[in-house]
Chain A
Amino acid sequence: MSDNATGSAAAERGLPPSEPGGVASFEEADRGPIRRMQEFLHRFPTSIPFIVLLIGVVIFSFAAPGKFLAPFNFSLILQQVTIIAILGVAQTLVILTAGIDLSVGVIMILASVVMGRTAVVYGVPVEIAFPLGLLAGLACGFVNGVIVTKLRLPPFIVTLGTWSIFGALNVWYSKSETIRQADVQETAPFLQWTGTIIKPYDFFSNTLGLDLVFLKGWVLNYGSVVMLIVAAVIWYVLNKTAFGRHVYASGDDPDAARLAGINTDRALIGVYALAGFICAIAAWVLIGRIGGVSPQAGQTANLDSITAVVIGGTSLFGGRGSIVGTLVGALIVGVFRNGLALSGLELLWQDFAVGVLIIVAVTIDQWIRKISS
């Protein structure tokens, strides 16, 4: 778990003390349950998304009885959030550096079009087309990183621009043409591999002869496995490598990081390039999920990924947050959308609920940050 709270001093700078009175007895009163909770949450910020997730599960178990609380339904939710969770991992990296990446969704689409169109329409072997797609994602991210660092422009503006640019390239390369599931299956089935269904119960009983009853009914796909691998690798990179430390430090206080001898530009370019690469992996999972390649898919993926990151407790001010939080954040959105849909509510109320979740998440983030003052 990466409840990384490396010195969030910069973000808290200038906030007034929250204790109202100067009398000692007041001080004692403030150490009540709320204050203790605030301290707990400050120490373990990732616990908030877990709590919200749990609350959501409990609510919808009652709101949609018999339908929501079933292994198969949870499997569905997991499949539904996989793409956004992977993009969320990319977004987390960028937001940890106090940046934002509005182009993650379009990088994913562009990469999926490069993979699919190159293989299916232009007949290039998938062994070349697939890495080409990954490379396209990496290149897009790299461009973002170079513009952010070398031209010293705010990431919001840079990625607002490249969102448009990559989108135009997508239309140009794809000719807005959809590639059918059957055509991908015929020429490049590898691209659909992420959509392959796994039944964990059957898997363990067939291979190891185990009768794991609690796995009955679960239906996953390799896309979910890819998501877990991506998250684990990035978690390791962030928490166990020098690069990861540099990322947190650059986001927390870039000046201090530079004074400490960190090449923040290199760290930033690395972050954006890595984010672009992860988006290309999301592209692979997307092709598995929809079977084909659709240049029109994923229009709102960039904002959805930011939503997952924010609800997962990562601070938009940089330097604080975690990959685990983002995964749970994506799951929360999935649970609320699925739960509300099964309860028979219209899509607009799902959007409403997600909006409320965002506001609540950021409010809690602000509240727990007051603690160190």
Chain B
Amino acid sequence: MLKKLMLAASLLALSAAPVLADETIGLITKTETNPFFVKMREGAQAKAKELGVTLITAAGKYDGDNDGQVAAIENLIAAGAKGFAIVPSVSKAIVPTIQKARDAGLKVIVLDTPLDPMNAADATFATDNRKAGMLIGEWAKGTLGDKAKDARIVFLDLATNQPTVDFLRDQGFMQGFGIDVKDPNKIGDEDDPRICTHEISQGDQEKGRTAMENALQKCPDVNVVYTINEPAAAGAWEALKAVGKDDGSVLLVSIDGGCPGVKNVQAGTLGATSQQYPLKMAAMALEAIHTGKIPEIDPAVGFLDTGAQLITAKPVDGVPSISVEEGLKLCWG
């Protein structure tokens, strides 16, 4: 079984080789299916066409599949690629393989999820997830006004092992809302009484609904719901609707900026969302690898922020935001 797989992999690598008269650039995402990565791939394909380079795409089988990404990098090295952009599934474990690729002369640009340590890549282009969280936190606080000090908040997080994106967004929201986060890289060590509960949604619509149902049992007086992404928010909305809390008594906020999410902001089910830009990330990475010119990166931040913008139909003074119409033009997935 394993032998056959390896044979298949090396055949793949061989078959990729003849194309290499031209320049080849790789794109490795966490999974094949997540709309965020699907869009990223589309952005890369468009850019590759424009630059006249060959794009090889690969992905892990599931979120957290390090082995799959290692194999993909090895194939790209074997194929003699000029470099690749990668969204690492496991920020620490992939580092030695990335080093191997860089030693072989490949340019490596990390997208979306920084490596640990961040400087193990040539550059990192990512959404500032903490800032994205802060934007919706500030918006929720501003919208509630005086009521913010008596808020009852439910957090629908991603996973129990708290991947970087999970704590960055969650803690960012708290910082924006004015909650003392204690350790800014850890969810759950806070003692602010306004936090009612943290539940796990796994970023999934069905599990998001279940998580919200359980949260409602603990916090019947909830009036703010933070969600890790828009599918989780959509599931939470169904749970709120089922108990008649779709009457505007609960503020629902999220992060991502996918088209279904932005439309939910337009429909008023989602109060606000922070939008990120996967197409831009991928296009910039291809450009940088192709030209060999890495853009200036502020060493204090450590990565190039591809931006996050708040989208809401009800702007709040002092919190920069764009309209739903603008958001729809920029949305993905």
Contact = CB atoms under 8 A, between A and B. Distances in A.
Nearest to B264: A180
B231 A175 contact: no
A289 B258 CA distance: 21
Which bracket fits the contact residues of A? 35 or more
Given A181-B234, A182-B263, A83 B217 contact: no
Given A171-B33, A292-B234, A341-B214, A178 B209 contact: no
Interface residues of B, number: 31
Interface in B157-216: 160, 199-200, 204-206, 209-210, 213-214
Contacts of B238: 181, 195, 289-291
A132 B251 CA distance: 38
Interface string B31-46: 0111100100000000
The residue in B34, B217, B333 that gathers the most chain A C-beta atoms within 10 A of its C-beta is B217
Contact of A181 (B217, B218, B237, B333): B237
Contacts of A176: 33-35, 38, 333
Nearest to A68: B217
A127 interface: no
A290 B235 contact: yes
A341 B238 CA distance: 19
A359 interface: no
Nearest to B213: A76
A30 interface: no
Nearest to B208: A290
Contacts of A197: 242
A67 B269 CA distance: 28
B333 A290 contact: no
Contacts of A291: 234, 237-238
Main secondary structure on B side of the interface with A? helix
A299 B234 contact: no
B260 interface: yes
A180 B234 contact: yes
Max chain B Cβ within 10 angstroms of own Cβ: one of A80, A179, A341: A341
B246 to A, nearest CB: 11
B204 A347 contact: no
B258 A178 contact: yes
A342 B211 CA distance: 11
A290 B242 contact: no
B5 to A, nearest CB: 13
Interface string A167-186: 00001000111111110000
A99 to B, nearest CB: 21
A75 B238 CA distance: 15
Contact of B264 (A73, A177, A182, A297): A182
Instruction: Identify the interface centre among A67, A73, A219, A347: most chain B CB within 10 Å of its CB.
Output: A347
B8 interface: no
B267 interface: yes
Given A67-B218, A290-B238, A296 B209 contact: no
Interface centre among B32, B206, B231, B333 (most CB of A within 10 A): B206
Q: Which 7 A-B pairs have the closest CB atoms?
A: A294-B205, A290-B205, A341-B214, A347-B200, A176-B38, A180-B260, A178-B260
